[in-house]
Amino acid sequence: MSPAAESDLLFLLHDVARLMRVEVDKRARAFNMTRAQWVLLIRLERQPGLSQKELAELLEVEPITVARLVDRLEAHAMVERRPDPRDRRIWRLHLLPAARDLLGEIHRQRLAIARTVSTGVPAETLAAMEAGLRTMKATLCAEVRGACRAELPATVPAPERSGAPVAEAATIEKEVA
């Protein structure tokens, strides 16, 4: 990679995200799972009872992809589909005890990855990076209008367009998971 590309924030964000995906893939494979399955389990832990369609929107994949992931997790007694009480066409997804046991290990793996990527980075820098990334995410979500609506609380205002840091960054930092 050229020196100009290495100092480009967008290239850097992309490279770090790619390297993290590779690491998570490796760790998930050690448990005979995929990163997508881990993400699905984490989403259901945070938002139990999502429909397959809602989950597909959050994961930015087609509903058939979620259906296949759920089929595999259901076969391993980690997820179950329950009928929606108001609409019989909708299946709500819920974690089973086996998934809860595995989620403990997933969280341990996530902490280990976080420790690895933050080694040598001062706590103040990490806090500033997190606040900055949350602001960037809020800005992009506001641009897309709705793509991240399920992730952002309704109380988070659209970011300022002045280029200055958003005053609500602290609120966003605490509310956006």
Say how far apart CA 56 and CA 51 lie, in whole Å.
Answer: 9
CATH 1.10.10.10 in the chain is located at: 1-119
Model pLDDT, residue 170? 34
The string of pLDDT tens digits covering residues 22-77 is 999 999 999 999 999 999 999 999 999 999 999 999 998 999 999 999 999 999 99
The two tokens of residue 106 are 């997933």
Model pLDDT, residue 6? 57
- φ, ψ of residue 60 to 5 degrees: the values are 60, 45
Model pLDDT, residue 2? 62
Give Cα 33 distance to the centre of its chain.
17
Model pLDDT, residue 147? 55
Per CATH, which fold does 1-119 belong to?
Arc Repressor Mutant, subunit A (1.10.10)
84: helix, strand or coil: coil
Q: Give the type of residue at 74.
A: E
Which residues in the chain belong to E strands, given as ranges? 79-83, 91-95
Give Cα separations from 120 to 7, 10, 152, 160, 170 (angstroms).
19, 22, 31, 32, 24
Q: How confident is the model over 93-100, as a mean pLDDT?
A: 95
The string of pLDDT tens digits covering residues 113-168 is 999 999 999 999 999 999 999 999 899 988 886 655 545 444 444 444 334 333 33
